[in-house]
C-alpha cells in the first residue's frame, strides 16, 4: 500500500491505522492464551491508539483480571508510566466488576511526565504524528482516551523523581518507567517503602527486557522478601507478591558497584529462570547491558559470547539479545576502537581508556600475559565449540595471520583457504569480513583466561543473525603461529 493510499484510508476510516496488526494479535492470543480471553481488551480492535500501546494486549488482560478478581481494596493502585493509558484503561474498566472495589471505590494513581521523547519514528503515520513535538506534552491524548473513566483516576503529571507519595499502603504497583538507574532508585525510595507484606503485588513490566538490569540485580537481592507469581505470557511483565517487609538497606539507593561478580552472575541466572520462552534471551542481554553501561566492554563481550552460546535458537533469533544488544555493543566497541586509533587531538577531550585493536593471538585490550593463567587446551576448546554449535568446527593453523593448514574444512572452506590472509588484528579481520561478507560484522573479542582470544561474530541481519565463534590460540613454541578454531550453530557444513 502506498503512503498516499494509506493516508487516504486513515482519513476516511480513522480506526484503520494498525487494524490488521491488532486483528493478528487477537487471533494469535486467542489461540495461545484462552485463559486470559475473558479479560482481553477487545475494544482495542476499533481503537487506533491501541496500536501505539507499549504493553501487550495480554498484559492489559492480566491487569483487567487482577482488577476484577485479585484486588482486595486494602491499599491503593499505583501505575508508574502510563504512556497512552493502555494499562490504565484495562484497570479502570475492570474495577467496577470487583465487589471489594465497589464497596469502597478508590482512584487509580497514574504517574507519567507525558512528554514526547525520541518517538518520532514510532509515531510516523499514526494518529499522533501531526502533533509530535520533541519534549511536547501528549497528556491530552491520555485524557481524551480515558475521559469516560476520569473519575476513577488521579493523575500525577511530572517527573517521577520529584514525586512524593503520601497515599498510604500500595496494593498494586505497576512499574513501567524505571528506565534508568537513578529513576529506579527514586521509585524505590518513594513507592516501594509503601508496599505492605501479604497485601502488595508488584508488576515489573521491564523485567523480561535487556535495558533495565537494575531490576534483575535488586530483585535477586530482595528475592526472600517476594514470592514470584508469574511471567505474563509473551510480555515483559513479571509479577511478584511481597511477603516480608523490605528493609531500609533494600530501599536505599544502589549502584552496579555494590554487586560482586558472583552475585551478578547468580542474579541473571535466577532472573532468566523466572521468564518464559525466547524472552530469556532478553534477560541474558541485560547482563551484557549492565557491563556495557559500566563501560566494561571486554567483560560485556565475554558475557555476550556465553549468552549466545547458551541461547536457544528461538531466543537467539527473536530476543533483544541479537536485535538490540549486539548492535549497541558493536557500536560502542567500534566507537572505542576508533577513538583509540584517532590521533590525540582528534580523540576528544577525554579519550576513553580504550584498548588498541589486538593482534591475532594476543588477548585484546593489551599485551599478552607473560604466561597464560590456564594453559590452552585445544581439545577442550574444540569440545566446547562443538557442543555449542552441534557441528564440526574448523581447525586451522596460521602463521602471522596467514592460513597454512586446514584440518577439517566444512562449509568454511569457501571462505578460508590455505595461503589466505585472515588478518593480523581485529580491525583487519573486520575489514576482511566486510569485504567477503558485506552483511557480516564482528561483534567483539574476549580475552580468555588461557591466553587465547575469542571473537564473536554475527553475520547477517540482527533478527536472522548467524552466530560464529572463533578462538585464536597462540603457539607456545612459535611466537608467529596460531591455531584458529571456528564454529557456528547456524551455518551448515558442506555436502
Binding positions for ligand SAM, rule: CB under 6 A? 53-55, 81-84, 86-87, 112-114, 159-161, 176-177, 179, 183
Give min distance, CB of 83 to ligand SAM, in A.
3
Q: Name the one residue in this structure whose C-alpha cell is 599485551.
A: 367
Give min distance, CB of 278 to ligand SAM, in A.
20
Q: How do beta strands 226-231 and 238-242 pair?
A: antiparallel
Please, are residues 210 and 289 in contact by the beta-carbon 8 Å criterion? yes
State how far the Cα of 235 lies from the Cα of 326, in Å rounded to an integer.
21
Please, are residues 328 and 341 in contact by the beta-carbon 8 Å criterion? no
Q: Which of 198, 204, 196, 194 is nearest to 174 (CA)?
A: 204
- Smaller CB separation from ligand SAM, 87 or 433: 87
**Counting every residue, how long is the chain?**
495
- Smaller CB separation from ligand SAM, 177 or 360: 177
Q: Within 13 Å, how many C-alpha atoms sit on residue 444's CB side?
A: 32
Give min distance, CB of 68 to ligand SAM, in A.
18
- Smaller CB separation from ligand SAM, 34 or 158: 158
- Smaller CB separation from ligand SAM, 179 or 221: 179
State how far the Cα of 194 lies from the Cα of 430, in Å rounded to an integer.
52
Give min distance, CB of 479 to ligand SAM, in A.
53
- Smaller CB separation from ligand SAM, 84 or 195: 84
- Smaller CB separation from ligand SAM, 160 or 195: 160
250 CB neighbour count, 10 Å cutoff: 15
Give min distance, CB of 187 to ligand SAM, in A.
9
- Smaller CB separation from ligand SAM, 62 or 101: 62
Give min distance, CB of 103 to ligand SAM, in A.
28
State how far the Cα of 36 lies from the Cα of 452, in Å rounded to an integer.
51
Written as one string, the DSSP assignment of 342-377 is S-GGGS-SS---PPPPPBTTSPTTSPPPSS-SS---
Give min distance, CB of 223 to ligand SAM, in A.
25
Amino acid at each position: 500500500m502506498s503512503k498516499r493510499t494509506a493516508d487516504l484510508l486513515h482519513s476516511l476510516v480513522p480506526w484503520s491505522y494498525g487494524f490488521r496488526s491488532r486483528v493478528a494479535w487477537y487471533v494469535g492470543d486467542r489461540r495461545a492464551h484462552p485463559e486470559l480471553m475473558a479479560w482481553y481488551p477487545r475494544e482495542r480492535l476499533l481503537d487506533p491508539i491501541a496500536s501505539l500501546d507499549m504493553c501487550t494486549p495480554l498484559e492489559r488482560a492480566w491487569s483487567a483480571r487482577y482488577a476484577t478478581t485479585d484486588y482486595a481494596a486494602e491499599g491503593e493502585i499505583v501505575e508508574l508510566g502510563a504512556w497512552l493509558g493502555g494499562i490504565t484503561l484495562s484497570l479502570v474498566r475492570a474495577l467496577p466488576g470487583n465487589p471489594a472495589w465497589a464497596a469502597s471505590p478508590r482512584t487509580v494513581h497514574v504517574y507519567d511526565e507525558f512528554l514526547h521523547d525520541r518517538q518520532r519514528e514510532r509515531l510516523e503515520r499514526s494518529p499522533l504524528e501531526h502533533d509530535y513535538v520533541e519534549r511536547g506534552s501528549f497528556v491530552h491524548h491520555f485524557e481524551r482516551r480515558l475521559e469516560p473513566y476520569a473519575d476513577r483516576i488521579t493523575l500525577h503529571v511530572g517527573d517521577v523523581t520529584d514525586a512524593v507519595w503520601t497515599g498510604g499502603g500500595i496494593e498494586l504497583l505497576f512499574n513501567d518507567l524505571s528506565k534508568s538507574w537513578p529513576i529506579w532508585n527514586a521509585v524505590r525510595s518513594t513507592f516501594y517503602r509503601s508496599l505492605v507484606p501479604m497485601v502488595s503485588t508488584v508488576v515489573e513490566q521491564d523485567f523480561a527486557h535487556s535495558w533495565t538490569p537494575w531490576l534483575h540485580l535488586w530483585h535477586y537481592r530482595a528475592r526472600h522478601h517476594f514470592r514470584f507469581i508469574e511471567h505474563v505470557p509473551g510480555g515483559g511483565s513479571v509479577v511478584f507478591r511481597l511477603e516480608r517487609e523490605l528493609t531500609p538497606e533494600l530501599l536505599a539507593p544502589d549502584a552496579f558497584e555494590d554487586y560482586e561478580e558472583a552475585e551478578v552472575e547468580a542474579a541473571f541466572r535466577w532472573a532468566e529462570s523466572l521468564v518464559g520462552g525466547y524472552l530469556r534471551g532478553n534477560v541474558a542481554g541485560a547482563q551484557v547491558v549492565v557491563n556495557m553501561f559500566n563501560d566494561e566492554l571486554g567483560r560485556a563481550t565475554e558475557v555476550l559470547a556465553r549468552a549466545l552460546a547458551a541461547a536457544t535458537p528461538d531466543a537467539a533469533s527473536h530476543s533483544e539479545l541479537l536485535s538490540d544488544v549486539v548492535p549497541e555493543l558493536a557500536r560502542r566497541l567500534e566507537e572505542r576502537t576508533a577513538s583509540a586509533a584517532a590521533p590525540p587531538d582528534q580523540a576528544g577531550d577525554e579519550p576513553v581508556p580504550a584498548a588498541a585493536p589486538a593482534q591475532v593471538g594476543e588477548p585484546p585490550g593489551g599485551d599478552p600475559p607473560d604466561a597464560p593463567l590456564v594453559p590452552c587446551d585445544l581439545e577442550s576448546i574444540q569440545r566446547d565449540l562443538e557442543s555449542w554449535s552441534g557441528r564440526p568446527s574448523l581447525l586451522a593453523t596460521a602463521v602471522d595471520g596467514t592460513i597454512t593448514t586446514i584440518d577439517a574444512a566444512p562449509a568454511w572452506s569457501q571462505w578460508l583457504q590455505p595461503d589466505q590472509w585472515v588478518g593480523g588484528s581485529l580491525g583487519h579481520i573486520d575489514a576482511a569480513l566486510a569485504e567477503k561478507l558485506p552483511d557480516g560484522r564482528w561483534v567483539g573479542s574476549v580475552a580468555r583466561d588461557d591466553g587465547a582470544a575469542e571473537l564473536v561474530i554475527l553475520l547477517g541481519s540482527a533478527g536472522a543473525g548467524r552466530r560464529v565463534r572463533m578462538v585464536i590460540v597462540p603457539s607456545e613454541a612459535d611466537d608467529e603461529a596460531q591455531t584458529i578454531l571456528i564454529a557456528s550453530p547456524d551455518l551448515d557444513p558442506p555436502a
